[in-house]
Amino acid sequence: MKWERNRGILNNVLESVGLTPMIRLNKVVNQGGPEILVKMEFTNPSGSLKDRVVYRIVDEAEKQGLLKPGMILMEGTTGNTGIATCMVGAVKGYHVIIVMPEGMSEERKKTIQAYGAELILTPGAETDVDLVLEEVARQKAKFGDQVFEIGQFVRPENADSHYLNTGPEIWEQTSGQVDVFIMCQGTGGTVTGTARYLREKNPDIKILVSEPKESPILAEGKIGQHKVQGIADGLIPEILDLELIDGIIQIASDEALHMARKLARQEGIFCGISSGCNVAAAIKAAQLFPRARQIVTMVNDNGLRYLSTELCGPPQQRQGLEREYAISSEDQARLKARDFLIIE
């Protein structure tokens, strides 16, 4: 990895994507157990790990002639991928249209608009991404071949960005001492790409996924409303490789919120709620695998994206719609083929 790149002058902000720091947690963890390390993905230029994904997808689309000057970048998102799309679009000169649930944080909405993108809101919150994707389909039909959809839930470049970069960075930063990797599941790209690389380097590494206890789609095949913005979107994405996953760690929304606050107050890491979910899961994993040398997880984004949420204020009502949620028959079949270790 070219860690020395930041010593010089970069040509544009996209060249600063990736090569994020790794930090050892000292105060929120139990002493005497495995080291718990967090990869600081909010140091990416738009503030989340999704910069890796969007940059890779757009770059490959341009090389293949699928994306040309004058076209529109479009994406359905719960926030971070949309913001990353706005940043990449701004640098490359594309008009951007973002479709997002109305229940996401005000900071996400304002950040998207600050980049000059067009924002379309749909009903609901995290678990209502199906409605977002329906609106994306309507917008694509309206604009026709003028649109290039980022397609984070289906494009293999999502996972490739982590296989080619995130995984190797983790392996190099830990000198190959990582025994457990933990990541929450949104699109599944980070889990799939990073796990694939790390397992090639160490077939015995444990790969665990954290998910909100209120919406245990992988653990129990159930969808519910929760407060962890950006994950557990109410579907099992095509690019999520279930064969790579050893176990699921369930973390209640309030537990994730509590850990995110602790990280700010005790470690100086002001992060989002999904990062609290990851670290809470890593602490549980340390109890389950006490002989592990290092446990690695991700700080996905910055707490500044959550100032108007319960992370920084009083308890709030969940923003999801009052409707029946059920996973598809295809997703049910995928889950039946796997027997995960479930950790509560």
* Of 48, 105, 215, 274, catalytic: 274
Contact 270, 302 (CB under 8 A): yes
- Averaged pLDDT for residues 95-108: 94
Picking from 118, 149, 180, the residue at the C-terminal end of a domain is 149
In this predicted structure, which of 20-24, 48-52, 91-95, 236-240 has the lowest mean pLDDT? Answer: 236-240
- Averaged pLDDT for residues 309-331: 78
What pLDDT shows up at residue 316?
A: 73
- The confidence band for 3, taking pLDDT boundaries of 50, 70 and 90, is confident
Let me know whether 221 and 129 are in one domain: no
Let me know whether 181 and 72 are in one domain: no
Instruction: Look at residue 105 and tell me if it is in a domain.
Output: yes
* Of 50, 206, 213, 284, catalytic: 50
Residue with tokens 């996905």, as numbered in its chain: 300
In angstroms, what CA-CA distances link 272 with 19, 42, 104, 324?
A: 20, 9, 13, 28
The three-state secondary structure class of 121 is strand
Is pLDDT at 325 greater than 80 in this prediction?
Answer: no
Run of H or E including 178: strand 178-184
Let me know whether 39 and 181 are in one domain: yes
Instruction: Look at residue 157 and tell me if it is in a domain.
Output: no
Let me know whether 60 and 115 are in one domain: yes
| 253 part of the active site | no
Is pLDDT at 323 greater than 70 in this prediction?
Answer: no
- Comparing CA positions, the residue from 185, 152, 154 lying closest to residue 298 is 185
For 186-221, give one letter per residue: b (16+ CB within 10 A) or e: bbbbbbbbbbbbbbeeeeebbbbbbbbbbbbbbbee
Let me know whether 100 and 54 are in one domain: yes
Alpha carbon 238 to its chain centroid, in Å, reads 15
- Rg of the chain over all Cα atoms, to the nearest angstrom: 19
Specify the CATH number for the domain of residue 63.
3.40.50.1100
Q: Which residues pair with 99 in a beta bridge?
A: 76, 120
Is pLDDT at 322 greater than 70 in this prediction?
Answer: no
What interhelical angle do 106-114 and 80-92 show, nearest 10? 10
- The confidence band for 296, taking pLDDT boundaries of 50, 70 and 90, is very high
Is pLDDT at 20 greater than 70 in this prediction?
Answer: yes
| 274 part of the active site | yes
Let me know whether 120 and 246 are in one domain: no
Is pLDDT at 126 greater than 80 in this prediction?
Answer: no
Q: 102-115, pLDDT tens digit by residue?
A: 998 899 999 999 99
Instruction: Look at residue 179 and tell me if it is in a domain.
Output: yes
Picking from 149, 181, 207, the residue at the C-terminal end of a domain is 149
Let me know whether 11 and 92 are in one domain: no
- Averaged pLDDT for residues 267-296: 98
Let me know whether 93 and 128 are in one domain: yes
Let me know whether 250 and 122 are in one domain: no
Backbone conformation region of residue 40, classed left if phi is above 0, alpha if psi is from -120 to 50, else beta:
beta
Instruction: Look at residue 111 and tell me if it is in a domain.
Output: yes
Angle (nearest 5°) at CA 278 between 45 and 274? 60
The three-state secondary structure class of 252 is coil
Let me know whether 13 and 106 are in one domain: no
Let me know whether 206 and 287 are in one domain: yes
Instruction: Look at residue 119 and tell me if it is in a domain.
Output: yes
Within a 13 Å sphere around the CA of 235, how many CA atoms are in the beta-carbon half? Answer: 15
Q: 23-70, pLDDT tens digit by residue?
A: 999 999 998 999 999 999 999 999 999 999 999 999 999 999 999 999
As for how many domains the chain has, the answer is 2
Instruction: Look at residue 154 and tell me if it is in a domain.
Output: no
Q: 183-198, pLDDT tens digit by residue?
A: 999 999 999 999 999 9
Picking from 91, 114, 149, the residue at the C-terminal end of a domain is 149
Supply the range of the domain harboring residue 102. Answer: 50-149
Full-model pTM = 0.95
In angstroms, what CA-CA distances link 209 with 82, 245, 279?
A: 23, 7, 11
Let me know whether 76 and 118 are in one domain: yes
